[in-house]
């Protein structure tokens, strides 16, 4: 019985937490391992109490942004209310909400949510709450968290700036900065590097969606069969659609570098315009818009059932 108890204790220590691999062949090591397990478990429980609200608030705000982007893109595809494809990106969402009654209050709540999202991503980066480690693959994943945090922190800044100024116009200044960058000796290479980076992100997003890797983020046990099926569809369509947008943005940057013309580069709005101006543009843009709404819905599902720190 004593031997069975020892084996049971070893299994608990070895497999209950991935970072615990201490063999307990004698009593001192057994006590030390148990203390280590207890402290790490308490540390996780304490940290998750403030990390979870941060993640859930951020994911909900991100879901709102993408649902609005998708809806504006869908409106622009069929020319509803004069909505233009070029103004259906994050900046267009900000301007759209500014023109609504009480829009500044909505934007303020969204900015708080995106600030929480950025904070969560930075926590994942520097505190390694997802246990990615320091190997090349883990460092790459943690860098992607950092990139995401910086991206949405910049969106938060744009929102606050628009609330103060009453306008969200920023496209001209972006093109001017790119043109100045191209004038430098290595500017074209930098633009090519940015384009290739965006292409890599796009390919990864398409693969992530098609392989259904996103399912690991959600506690599926808490969902019924119908909800799981909705998650599967919304996630796959959403991530693939988002990947396609990144790939088009990458193409526009590479095209701008080849032609030495900063005005040919662009963001999400430019990608929408590129699609709309092509063959079957209306229907392709509408399909992509629905996909981005699905991505927003996926973020709502994650906000409700996210596995934080697992």
pLDDT in tens, 31-54: 444 444 444 444 444 456 788 899
The residues near 20 (Cβ < 8 Å, ≥ 6 apart) are: 13, 14, 33, 36, 37, 40
Q: Are 27 and 70 contained in the same domain?
A: no
Assess whether pLDDT exceeds 70 at residue 23.
no
Please check the confidence at residue 8 and state whether its pLDDT lies above 80: no
Tell me: do 25 and 64 sit in the same domain.
no
What is the span of the domain harbouring residue 146? 52-305
Same domain (yes/no): 19, 141:
no
**Residue predicted with more confidence, 266 or 12:** 266
- The whole-angstrom separation of Cα 41 and Cα 50 is 15
User: Is residue 124, in this structure, part of any structural domain at all?
Assistant: yes
Do 23 and 63 fall within a single domain?
A: no
Note the pLDDT of residue 40: 43
275: in domain: yes
Is 43 among the domain residues?
no
Query: For residue 46, is it within any domain?
Result: no
Q: Quote the crossing angle between the two packed helices 27-77 and 136-165, to the nearest 10°.
A: 50
Q: Tell me: do 3 and 114 sit in the same domain.
A: no
Per-residue confidence (pLDDT) for residue 55, from 0 to 100: 92
Both structure tokens of 151? 């991206």
Count of domains for the chain: 2
**Which of the listed ranges 88-92, 108-112, 173-177, 218-222 does the model predict with the highest average pLDDT?**
108-112
pLDDT at 197: 94
Overall average pLDDT of the 176-184 stretch: 83
Question: Across-strand partners of 218?
Answer: 306
Answer yes or no: pTM beyond 0.95: no
Same domain, 118 and 163: yes
Write down the pLDDT at residue 172.
55
What the block records as the tokens of 243 is 């990947």
Asked if 27 and 58 sit in the same domain, the reply is no
State the Cα–Cα distance between residues 9 and 169, nearest whole angstrom: 62
Considering the domain architecture, whether residues 138 and 84 belong to the same structural domain is answered as yes
206, part of any domain: yes
pLDDT at 2 over 90: no
State whether 124 and 217 are in the same domain.
Answer: yes
Flag whether 189 is in a domain: yes
Clarify whether residues 19 and 168 are in a common domain: no
* Region 212-228 average pLDDT: 74
- Do 275 and 188 share a structural domain? yes
When comparing pLDDT for 162 and 20, which is higher?
162
């Amino acid at each position: 019985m004593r031997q069975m108890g020892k084996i049971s204790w070893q299994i608990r220590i070895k497999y209950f937490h991935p970072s615990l691999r201490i063999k307990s062949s004698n009593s001192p090591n057994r006590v030390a391992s148990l203390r280590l397990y207890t402290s790490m478990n308490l540390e996780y429980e304490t940290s998750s109490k403030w990390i979870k609200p941060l993640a859930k608030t951020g994911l909900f705000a991100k879901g709102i942004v993408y649902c609005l982007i998708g809806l504006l893109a869908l409106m622009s595809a069929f020319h509803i209310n004069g909505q233009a494809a070029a103004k259906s990106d994050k900046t267009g969402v900000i301007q759209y909400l500014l023109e609504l009654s009480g829009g500044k209050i909505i934007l303020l709540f969204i900015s708080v949510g995106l600030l929480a999202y950025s904070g969560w991503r930075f926590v994942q980066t520097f505190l390694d709450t997802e246990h990615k480690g320091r190997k090349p693959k883990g460092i790459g994943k943690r860098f992607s968290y950092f990139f995401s945090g910086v991206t949405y922190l910049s969106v938060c800044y744009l929102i606050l700036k628009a609330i103060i100024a009453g306008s969200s116009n920023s496209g001209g200044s972006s093109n001017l900065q790119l043109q100045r960058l191209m004038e430098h000796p290595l500017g074209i290479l930098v633009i090519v590097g940015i384009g290739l980076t965006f292409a890599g992100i796009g390919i990864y997003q398409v693969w992530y969606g098609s392989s259904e890797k996103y399912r690991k983020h959600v506690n599926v046990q808490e969902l019924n069969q119908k909800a799981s099926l909705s998650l599967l569809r919304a996630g796959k369509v959403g991530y693939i659609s988002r990947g396609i947008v990144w790939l088009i943005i990458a193409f526009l940057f590479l095209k701008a570098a080849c032609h030495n013309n900063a005005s040919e580069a662009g963001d999400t709005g430019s990608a929408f315009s590129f699609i709309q101006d092509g063959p079957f543009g209306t229907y392709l843009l509408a399909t992509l818009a629905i996909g981005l709404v699905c991505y927003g819905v996926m973020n709502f599902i994650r906000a409700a059932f996210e596995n934080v720190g697992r």
